Amino acid sequence: MHLWRFLDDDLVVLDLQARDRMSALREIMEKIPQNGRIRNKEKALRDLLDREALSTTGIGGGFAVPHVLSEEANLPTLLFARSEQGVDFQAKDGQPVHLILVAFANPRKKNFFVQCLYHAVQILKDPEQFQRLMQAATPEEVLSVLGRREKPLDKALLQPAVTIPEDDPRWKWLDPRRAVGGCLARAASEVLA
C-alpha cells in the first residue's frame, strides 16, 4: 500500500499565507474541495483544531503533521501545504514550519497514522526531499517528489498490534489523539537529534 494515494493534486496548497497554526489549518481546509472524502469540512476542521489545541504537531525541522481521527473522514485523507514565509506552529525546535502534512482518518482506521508517521520521518531524514518540496512549482510536482521516495510499507504495520473491539471499554482510557501526537514527537526528536 502506498500512502500518497490518499493525496490528490486538489489537496495540495502551495501558497499558504497564514502565519499561525490555527489560521493555517483553517486556510488549508477552506481551499480543499468538497470531494466526498470528508463529509463536513466545518466539523472536520473543528476536530482538527481541537486536536491541535491539545499539543502542537509541529515536530521540528520545518515540518508539521496535524492529524486527527474524525467521524467526518469517509476515507483516509492527506492534505499537503507549503508556506514560503513559515508558520508559527509552536514547533518543538522553535523554528517556523514550511511544510505541513494534514492527515484525517476515521477512528476505525487508526493504523493510517502509523503510515503517516513513517512517511513524515522519511521526509525529515532527507534534506534533499525537503528542498525539492520547497521548490516544487505545481501540485503535480509535489506528488512526483513524494512518490519518488516512497517504498511499500510492511503489511504488518497495517495490522493492529492488539485486536480489541471498537466498543470495548478498555479504549476509553486511551485518547488516540494524544497517543499519536506523542509517537510523532518521539520519532521526530530521534530524527532531529
Hey, how many other C-beta atoms are within 10 angstroms of the C-beta on 83?
24
How many domains in the chain?
1
Residue range of the domain that includes 103? 3-158+167-192
Note the pLDDT tens digit of each residue in 135-184.
999 999 999 888 765 554 444 434 443 444 556 554 444 444 444 444 44
pLDDT of amino acid 165: 53
We report the CATH number of the domain holding residue 45 as: 3.40.930.10
Contacts (Cβ under 8 Å, ≥6 apart) of 53: none
How high is the pLDDT of residue 32? Answer: 76
| pLDDT per 10-residue tile (average), the chain, 193 residues | 77 95 94 83 94 90 91 89 96 94 86 73 80 95 78 43 49 43 48 46
End-to-end alpha carbon distance in the chain: 30
Residues 6+ apart with CB under 8 A from 75: 6, 36, 37, 106
pLDDT value of position 133 = 94
